A and B are shown apart, each in its own frame.
Chain A
Amino acid sequence: MTVTTRQPAQGPAPQRSAGSRAGELLARVFGGGSGTVFALLIVVFAAIFIVNPGFAEPPSLMAFLKQAAPLMILAIGQYFVIVSGEFDLSVGSLVGAQVVIAAALIDGEEGRTVPVILLMLGFGILVGLVNGLITTLLKVQSFITTLGMMLVLYGAIRLWTGGAPTGALSEAFRQPGRGGIDMSVVRQLPWALMILIGIVIIAVAVMRSSYGRTLIATGDNDRAAGFSGVRVWRVRTLAFVMSSVAATVAAILIGGYAGVTAQVGQGLEFTAITAVVLGGAALGGGRGWVVAAMAGALTLEALFVLFNQLSMPSTIRPAVQGVIIIAAVAYAARERARPRHHQEVPSQQQSNEA
């Protein structure tokens, strides 16, 4: 991890001699702040390897990444919205809706795969536009807008399908989520991983572009951003669109990974938000690093694996997961609570006004 990819609102790192770089890196990772998620990730992975050394084998790791990719993509999408000072609660429902739409429209016919995927992307963009425009132009709080969207999608899909999904996905549709390139060491290099890497590169590029800086500035203080010439509504709407498109890609991967079931996507919105917060982003916007958000998602998935490897009873898992998340975020917050270069007080007032 390089210090240079850090998002700008964090402020420039103090000048250090090259020799103390390594020490500084260690301190950054384990010293609280937004490095916490990486520390937690390392600890959880170490624990998994101790419990089950077999997990360290490349095929197992690839299987894990394939399974974790959809949540990581969702977290990236959610990051854009959260860092701009909003929420997107509709992503879980959107994933479910997209998988059900895909199954119903493809209905097992290979030839329909590509048109249906294009249609899904169109639908995703539409949902993002509606979320974004209602939030920014009609000034409905995004929590309510996207909560409403979540219910609308949930209900509309049930109305349309008569309660439970129908149809079937084609083999081609299932490839991105399930298949990969067969090779010797890793057994299979999953398409999902390559799609994920592509999206991470795009996301990092977006955040380093002028749009990314504007997005963070908007989340930090939208009034100030507005005064300095930012069209806040456009910036935020685009963030919602990116979130919905990410949810669509996640839906393609999840549907491909496991096929259609009635429960697809349930609860994913909160897992994605948790991942972003675990990655050090501030709810209310203005602070966060997209790679850390993704690492948050990876950490959550790794925690599920660890629980499983420990054969922990399923009934106690949510409680333990909750304790770990709160502890990790609180630990990271110690760092953040110290006074910083930029003013935080206005950003906290602003976050409620959007």
Chain B
Amino acid sequence: MRTTRALLAAAAAAALMLAACTTDEPSDTAAPDETAAASEDPGAGGEDEETTDGEFFVRADYDRQLAQRDIAPEGDPATPWLQAIEPEYVDTAQYAQDGNTLCFSNASVSNPWRVTGWITMQQQVEVLQQQGLIGEFRVSDAADDDNKQISDIQAFIDAGDCNAIIISPSTTATLTPAVEAACASGVPVIVFDRGVNSDCMVTFIHPIGGYAYGADGAEFLVENLEPGSTVLPLRILPGVDVLENRWAAAQEIFADSELEILGDEFTGGDGAEIKNLVTQALQRGEVDGIWMDAGDGAVAAVEAFEDTGNDYPVMVGEDELSFLRKWQETGMTAVAPVYSNFQWRTPILAATMIWAGEQVPVEWVLPQDEITEDDRDEFLDRNADMPSLHYAKFGGEDLPGFPAAWQDR
């Protein structure tokens, strides 16, 4: 009995030691431990021989997205949801029709970003319904379940009376066949937000992308921190391509800098977890900058500095109002990368354009500009009455339901 006990104690000790030994693994190259299911990048056009430095890093896409940030989009800057970066238009005359039943398969409304966008989309639909351009708007919500979304899409196809199908896919690879089936039914298909590995849809609408988002924050840290400063990256989850792209881009930029990167932590997006991790990192040593792959809980990270009596870090947040307000209140050095929430309006407008036989971009790349200290106050003024989990660049200020619709959610 004694020996078993000793054995168990030894096993526990060994487990600790083994785990401790693996810590010197460098985290400044593309992380090798991210072994989630393969997910090819939708925008890559399926070319396999591209330079891939890691499972979630395709250099050509990275370079393209970073370049797109500096290209002036076509269209009126007052309506960014109708702007497009280097659009290649496609003829839609074949889809011109009088029918106006619009069907939307939504991945989920499981985070504040999606909730905000979903409200904007509904408001846009209402306007067009009053104008008689859209008749019935049919929606199914898959609650982040791939299988549910596949059957949702199939149900739209089987019903046979959708005049256009909008799809916001929950995951890239799994939803591809379902989207292809929708295309094959002859109905115009519009995909937005996350992509699929197919080009069968009439238009794929998305902001510039995850690499640009990750790079915006990382570049800001490199510019605003002295060489040798420490940066703590906080990530939500491993293995989700939209988030992995952001991190891959940040790693790429950090690798060329003289910043010291303090591992990378997964937070699950939970404020308490974020606050714990930051507090503990501060107990271990100095933290000069925080990089986040999404701004949910950015305020909790900032509070960890306040509660432990440390100076504010250089902070990468997001255009969520709670963070923008905290930023204004504290005057810290920060940037808010934006994953353009106004993209939720675009697919609705695209559907009516397609029905009218107007040309739309094949790949509709929407602008994606971060909020800096210069325009922060302007966005806060515009959203003064909005709740804290609202996104500043939601792009619905001109819709008749503003502001009440976004206030009571």
Contact = CB atoms under 8 A, between A and B. Distances in A.
Interface stretch (A143-151, A203-211, A239-247, A307-315): A307-315
A261 B280 CA distance: 20
Contact of B409 (A161, A307, A313): A161
Given A258-B272, A263-B268, A162 B15 contact: no
A284 interface: no
A315 B25 contact: no
Interface stretch (A3-11, A128-136, A322-330): A322-330
Interface string B263-276: 11110111111111
A331 B8 contact: yes
A261 B307 contact: no
A47 B20 CA distance: 12
Contacts of A334: 1, 4-5
Interface in B248-289: 262-266, 268-277, 279-281, 283-284
Interface in B26-50: 33
Contacts of B300: 258-259, 261
Nearest to B272: A258
Which secondary structure dominates where chain B touches chain A? Answer: helix
A330 B8 contact: yes
A165 B111 CA distance: 8
B22 A313 contact: yes
A163 B279 contact: no
A254 interface: yes
B238 interface: yes
Given A163-B114, A257-B272, A323 B33 contact: no
A163 B283 contact: no
Nearest to A330: B8
A168 interface: yes
Query: Counting chain B CB atoms within 10 Å of each CB, which of A60, A158, A314, A334 scores highest?
Result: A314
Interface string A180-193: 00000001100000
Classify chain B: how many residues form its interface, as a range.
Answer: 35 or more
Contacts, number: 159
Nearest to A165: B389
B111 A262 contact: yes
A257 B23 contact: no
Contacts of A164: 109-112, 114-115, 389
B309 A187 contact: yes
Interface residues of A, number: 56
Interface in A289-337: 304-305, 307-317, 319-320, 323-324, 327-328, 330-331, 334
B389 to A, nearest CB: 6
Interface in A39-89: 47, 52, 54-55, 59-60, 63, 67, 70
B369 interface: no
B11 interface: yes
B159 interface: no
A324 to B, nearest CB: 5
B282 to A, nearest CB: 9
Given A261-B296, A308-B280, A314-B266, A59 B308 contact: yes
B122 to A, nearest CB: 11
B77 interface: no
B248 to A, nearest CB: 16
A287 interface: no
A55 B283 CA distance: 6
A196 B12 CA distance: 30
A263 B400 CA distance: 32
A310 B262 CA distance: 12
A141 interface: no
B309 A320 contact: no
A263 B118 CA distance: 19
Contacts of B264: 314
B303 A178 contact: yes
A266 interface: yes
B160 interface: no
A264 B272 contact: yes
Given A67-B276, A163-B111, A331-B9, A315 B23 contact: no
Given A52-B284, A261-B296, A327 B270 contact: no
Nearest to B15: A323
B109 A258 contact: no
A308 B5 CA distance: 27
Contacts of A257: 272, 275
Contacts of B20: 310, 312
Given A163-B111, A178-B303, 7 more contacts: A162-B409, A166-B389, A258-B275, A263-B271, A264-B271, A308-B280, A311-B284
27 contacts: A32-B5, A52-B283, A54-B284, A59-B308, A60-B283, A67-B279, A108-B388, A158-B110, A162-B115, A162-B409, A166-B115, A254-B272, A259-B299, A260-B389, A261-B270, A261-B272, A262-B112, A263-B268, A264-B272, A308-B265, A309-B280, A309-B284, A312-B20, A313-B33, A315-B33, A316-B19, A331-B9
Interface of B: 1, 4-5, 8-9, 11-12, 15-16, 18-20, 22-23, 25, 33, 108-112, 114-115, 118, 238, 262-266, 268-277, 279-281, 283-284, 296-297, 299-300, 303, 307-309, 322, 387-389, 409
